[in-house]
Amino acid sequence: MEQSIRARIRAGDAAAFGQVFEDHARTVYRHAVRMTGDRSAAEDVVSLTFLEAWRLRGRISPDGDSLAPWLLGIAGNVIRNTRRAARRHQKAMAKLPPREAVPDFSGELAGRIADAEELAAAKAALEQLRPAEREVFALCVWEGLDHAAAAEALGRPVGTVRSRLSRARTRLRELTARELAATRSGRDLAATRSAGAVQRPEGTGQVSGDRAPAVRSTKETIR
């Protein structure tokens, strides 16, 4: 069925293209949200992606399976072009109110995330990935594309996709652990200082004998 749709779209069949939109618009939107962290921008990406897909319909291969990799590849180009335009107009955009951000963290890590600190650490780690690593991670992990489909979407060799995905996973583990350690270290230090300040007797430079139990209690509470 997909092959017949390919042929119809190449011939300029608007009804067939409308069916492709119904089948894949949600996938493109989900990918755009995860890559941009912005629902409004993601809606723009979907519109531009399908406009560009219609313009490029003659380039669709007559053979193949799902059109999702082709559409996600176009979406990736749209996102990159949009980011370049945003950088050129950064000063003007800075005057606008910020849009609502969508948490952007790894589905692969989500099953092991136990608290809000780990969520924040994973999100911060993802933001530190190189754009190419983040894009291949989004396609392979979030969208569930295999290496060949991701390579088609990105216009890169399969070997490149494999190596980028491996690096992305390794860096995510390292960066998440680093972010989490820094967050918890800062929290423990703040809690210890707070407990000491509460127990300090007025008029002396000495710390109350009750400070040690208070610190131990605080640490036990936050563990």
- State how many domains the chain has: 2
What does pTM read for this prediction? Answer: 0.57
Q: What is the pLDDT along the chain (223 residues), one digit of tens a residue?
A: 455 888 899 999 999 999 999 999 999 999 999 888 888 889 999 999 999 999 999 989 888 788 999 999 999 999 988 888 777 756 655 665 665 555 545 555 444 444 567 767 777 888 888 888 888 988 888 888 899 998 988 889 999 999 999 998 898 888 888 887 887 777 777 777 776 665 555 555 444 444 444 444 433 433 4
Specify whether 58 is located in the same domain as 126: no
Give the dihedral of Cα atoms 64, 69, 74, 77; nearest 10 deg. -140
Would you say 121 and 141 are in contact if contact means Cβ atoms under 8 Å apart?
A: no
User: Among the three residues 102, 129, 163, which one is the final residue of a domain in this structure?
Assistant: 102
Q: Say whether both 98 and 108 belong to one domain.
A: no
Q: What is the CATH number of the domain that holds 62?
A: 1.10.1740.10
Do 98 and 109 lie in one domain? The reply is no
**Residue 38 phi, psi (nearest 5):** -145, 115
CATH number of the CATH domain containing 115: 1.10.10.10
Pair 110, 207 in one domain:
yes
Which among 80, 102, 124 is the end of a domain? 102
Partners of 38 in the β-ladder? 101
DSSP-based helix, strand, coil % in the chain, nearest 5: 75, 0, 25
